[in-house]
Amino acid sequence: MAVRNIREIGDEILNKRSKEVTKINDRTNELIDDMIETMYEANGVGLAAPQVGVLKRIVVIDTSTDEEEDGLIVLINPQITETEGEQTGSEGCLSVPGKTGMVTRPEKVRATYLDRDMKEQTLEAEGLLARAVCHECDHLEGKLYVDLVEGELMDVPNPHQEEETGDEI
């Protein structure tokens, strides 16, 4: 496994649509393992493949706060099929370092996806996990949260207080 370079806003790959995954081979598995390592290294709660420069519909998310808890989810070709309610809160992105902004997302989402064995799965998510699923699915469409921000995109005042100002996803 290796930590990959995270692409930042201004890099045009972040504005491109990612392609469906049709099979998992060694390279795909290596990509997924690297994405997981890169997300944890950067203290992010989610990462999409285009953020490491690969236009494939793959997302990794871990919104768990307890280190004992395994909250890692790998979503291949995710599709949000249902949404419910609304939540407005601060959001950040590893591709937009040092920034945060208020974004309204659904409170609950249901998504279908393929797991690493290419088996169809369904995820029911709410709260931060629902927000992360929406944010990462947007990445696969070439969209960044900065276009959804209500009001100003703000500087994170102190990098050591990031947890209070929004998770980077």
Pick the closer one to Ni ion by CB: 35 or 93: 93
Collapsed DSSP state (helix, strand, coil) of residue 164: helix
Length of the chain: 169
Q: What is the number of the residue whose Cβ is closest to Ni ion?
A: 93
Residues paired with residue 168 on neighbouring β-strands, in sequence order: 92
**From the CB of 39, what's the least distance to Ni ion, in Å?**
10
Residues forming the active site? 136
Question: Looking only at residues 50 through 89 of this chain, which bind Ni ion when binding is defined by CB under 5 A?
Answer: none
Cα distances (Å, whole numbers) of residue 9 to 1, 56, 90, 94, 98:
25, 18, 18, 9, 12
Residue 71 CB, nearest distance to Ni ion (Å)? Answer: 17
Residue 93 in the binding site for Ni ion (CB under 5 A): yes
Site for Ni ion in 140-169 (CB under 5 A): none
* DSSP conformation letters of 72-110: -EEEEEEEEEEEES-EEEEEB-TTSTTEEEEEEE-SEEE
Q: Which stretch binds Ni ion (CB under 5 A): 80-88, 91-99, 100-108, 124-132?
A: 91-99
- Least distance in Å: CB of 135 to Ni ion? 5
Q: Smaller CB distance to Ni ion: residue 21 or 92?
A: 92
Residue 24 or 146 with smaller CB distance to Ni ion? 146
Q: In the 8-state DSSP scheme, what is residue 130?
A: H
Site for Ni ion in 97-136 (CB under 5 A): none
1 or 9: CB nearest Ni ion: 9
Place of tokens 């100003």: 152
Please check whether residue 14 is in contact with residue 7, taking contact to mean a CB–CB distance below 8 angstroms.
yes
Q: Which residues bind Ni ion (CB under 5 A)?
A: 93
